[in-house]
Amino acid sequence: MDAVAGPAGKLLPWYRRAQRRLPWRAVSGMSGTPDPYRVWVSELMLQQTRVETVVPYFLRFTERLPDLASLAAASEAEVLALWSGLGYYSRARALHRAARIVVREQNGRFPEDVEGWMALPGVGRYTAGAIVSIAFGKPAPILDGNVARVLTRLYGLRGDPRAGGLNRDLWKLAERILPRRSISDFNQALMELGALVCTPRAPRCLLCPLREDCVANREGLQHHLPELPARPKPTRVVMAAAIVEKRKKILFYRRTRTELLKDLWELPLGECQEGEGPREAVAREALGTYGLTLEVGEEVARVKHSIMNRRITLHAFEAELETSPAGPTAALEGEYRWVSRDGISALAMSSMVRKVLAAKKKSQGKGG
């Protein structure tokens, strides 16, 4: 296949038949050009997150904040609450800051070039290219994991696509194969092919519209390309949390002293030290970190959770206060809150904490 002519002639007809109906995507021939706001929100949500995970969050977010003006006018706490459970909360903060910049400094007009988007918080080269090409039809290349996998297999390229010379070559290649027309559909088609057909494991080569031109398919290299470095072995971690309830309200703390998950609400929790059981760990952490003396009761939930290469088993215990939270003091004022069950959804908290609360509710349902 001629790299200059590119794969558009075969890829675009396939995409128009096979594309998924996603809420941020304009379906070809039906609803026109995608909305820049929805493309932008979706691209930030999709970073390091699967499509099927993102869809319900995207729908909830855009129902409450349907446009740039509403996002800029919202508080950070509301934005974080709507994002709660997706992880990587710096993305939500960057989205919010960027919305305010566009409204305040650019009269509410989105940039239409890569440079303009990259000047905004949270927008890198890939995200800028995706928004400019998909929402505005401008000739900007994209290179995410899906596209890199498609191109390394299609052209039989060796090496780590995320590093050094190969990464630079892939960006140049992604630009060179852009068609003159239908750029929005073409870039989405590359990503869609990687997501649905040219998958990391068990690629569906017989269904690929580019199979006859693919070097990896021809030479049997589908399972060897791209050449990614081995992932580090996961670290097993045991944690413990306390569910402290009083008058039908649960005690939450806001993380203000750490950058990780900063300003999110959490249950009193901590990591088990070597040789320490979860029950002992939660009592120790409650006193040392939160200033609480707890009478730790029965275990009411146990959940699995992954963060990066950490594989966490979290034990959650019912607990009663022997001493109340200190306050209001300079150190603790505003850092804890008693929250009714109906009010929990309005708090920004990690998906791990939400898993604990859901598991406890489920176990109570079985018991009742």
**What amino acid positions are annotated as catalytic residues?**
43
Q: Which of 139, 140, 176 is nearest to 155 (CA)?
A: 176
Phi/psi at 317 (5° precision): -120, 140
CA angle 177, 183, 189 (to 5 degrees): 80
* The residue to which tokens 């590359």 are assigned: 190
Distance CA 267, CA 58 (A): 26
H/E/C letters for each residue in 52-101?
A: HHHHHHHHHHHHHCCCHHHHHHCCHHHHHHHHCCCCCHHHHHHHHHHHHH
CA-based torsion, 281, 282, 285, 287: positive or negative: negative
CA–CA dist 188, 137 (Å, integer): 11
Nearest to 151 by CA among 182, 173, 175: 173
* Cα Rg of the chain, angstroms: 24
